[in-house]
A and B are shown apart, each in its own frame.
Chain A
């Protein structure tokens, strides 16, 4: 299959590991990604809460561009995924807003029908490509590596769709099949605070402390994420959380596409693992045969 790829702003640089690993695994699984030419920022959660028509128009420009390509959109960033899906839902249920948005888009000679589908890589991998195909290409068994699969809020809520919104299982299934051990992680859909890390830092630190210590106390050797913001909050603030709460967390945070890439035998550097702040453990390093500190 071919997908219209929408990386989103944070994947361009600060979260390059996610972008690099998505591209690598899709290549290995014979799925073609065609980046949407000249895509713009989707507006993220923050824009939607400030200006409605403007935010809908801004995110619709991407949908209109993808519609011209006649492909489904692949959006790895959870926030982009939700904003684009939500735009679709609003346009399809409120005709007046759809009309307003098309009026704005006409300034750029664009229009949008409301039909482009938005997909998350986890959905595509498990439901289009299929676990059997993935398994057939696995080069490295994850050897009982203990992981905490962390889904976050946005891919399971609010646009309920490809997995259960209280107890999603696709990540668990994927990695169990790759040989990993899934620890008990009841926090898998708890909020990481998102942008609160910038505006209400103390509250966000507490939320992340709970996410981290639950994983560590239950024996996880890595947390596997699906969202750039969750990834950043969990990774970049571990030091601060340890200081504040007297904890001792030092747990690697991996994108699910990075861990899957390791299992598929892709070189760690190509997966952007060299960009991690937290050093990979001996066990993870040995799966890649290179130490990333």
Chain B
């Protein structure tokens, strides 16, 4: 069963969500340190955009430990994080907060939790990937044009003067540039996608009812103890 074939009701169950997220956290070196949070608030204080978040980075960690994944999934926070890593480098407990936000984003996308501006982030991410898949390199012109066409035509028009200046300054590549080994890059991507599905499949096979803090204890692999 593919991830996106899971029936709607089941996919939105807290335990499912938490499990998917815990699997994502496993991929972060030192990711399981999440349970060491002492709620000091250094992350929130360091975050340049916390003033515009609905739940602060500190609250995000607390909510996860309390087992409230749905609130996190529906938050604005995970989408507005600029991935500046200020919180992560300053956390006294060594928690990889930025990487955890990445994992949360992946879980939200996988499980289709998309509200408000989150849609824009996902559109941008998907267009970016399309761009990369079709050329092997990013063509910024195509990306921006497609993004604003999908989200706000008005903004696309407002970008025209900037585009003109850039053209005048010889800073616009009119056509995308395809790499030579384009075929073999797509083969790599295809294989990697298969691997990702394979991992997801294994995940679903034994999907246990993980609950917040307990779940973290269980996911701790022997080999990572003492890290």
Contact = CB atoms under 8 A, between A and B. Distances in A.
Interface string B108-129: 0100000001001100111011
Given A46-B124, A157-B88, A194 B184 contact: no
Contacts of B2: none
A236 B162 contact: yes
A40 B134 CA distance: 11
B125 A103 contact: no
A26 B29 CA distance: 35
Interface in B40-56: 48-49, 52
Most buried by A among B180, B185, B191: B191
Given A53-B196, A191-B86, A199 B184 contact: no
A12 B173 contact: yes
A13 B125 CA distance: 21
Contact of A153 (B27, B84, B190, B192): B84
A48 B172 CA distance: 26
A138 to B, nearest CB: 28
A46 B191 contact: no
B66 interface: no
B179 A198 contact: no
A10 B196 contact: no
Interface stretch (A90-98, A121-129, A171-179, A250-258): A90-98
Interface in B3-41: 24, 27, 29
A196 B83 CA distance: 10
Instruction: Give chain A's interface residue range (CB within 8 Å of chain B).
Output: 35 or more
Contacts of B121: 199
A54 B196 CA distance: 8
Given A41-B137, A49-B102, A274 B169 contact: yes
A201 B24 CA distance: 29
B105 interface: yes
Given A12-B137, A93-B29, A43 B132 contact: yes
Contacts of B82: 191, 193-196, 204, 207
Contacts, number: 181
Interface residues of B, number: 60
Given A104-B191, A198-B147, A49 B106 contact: yes
A89 interface: yes
A95 to B, nearest CB: 9
A74 to B, nearest CB: 18
A276 B29 CA distance: 40
A188 interface: no
Given A49-B83, A104-B191, A275 B128 contact: no
B153 interface: no
Contact of B165 (A12, A16, A277): A277
A44 B140 CA distance: 12
Contact of A191 (B48, B106, B162, B185): B48
Contacts of A275: 169-171
Interface string A210-254: 000000000000000000000000001000000000000000000
A14 B171 contact: yes
B219 interface: no
A292 B94 CA distance: 47
Smallest CB-CB A-B distances: 9 pairs: A191-B84, A108-B184, A13-B173, A9-B138, A157-B85, A107-B187, A57-B192, A104-B192, A93-B29
Interface of A: 9-10, 12-16, 38-41, 43-54, 56-58, 61, 89-90, 93-94, 97, 100-101, 103-110, 153-154, 157-158, 160, 165-166, 190-191, 193-196, 198-200, 203-204, 207, 236, 274-277
7 contacts: A40-B179, A41-B136, A49-B106, A53-B195, A58-B188, A153-B83, A199-B120
Given A40-B181, A54-B193, A198-B120, 20 more contacts: A40-B137, A41-B132, A41-B136, A47-B125, A50-B105, A53-B199, A58-B185, A58-B188, A108-B184, A154-B85, A158-B98, A193-B49, A194-B82, A195-B82, A196-B49, A199-B79, A199-B124, A200-B79, A275-B169, A277-B169
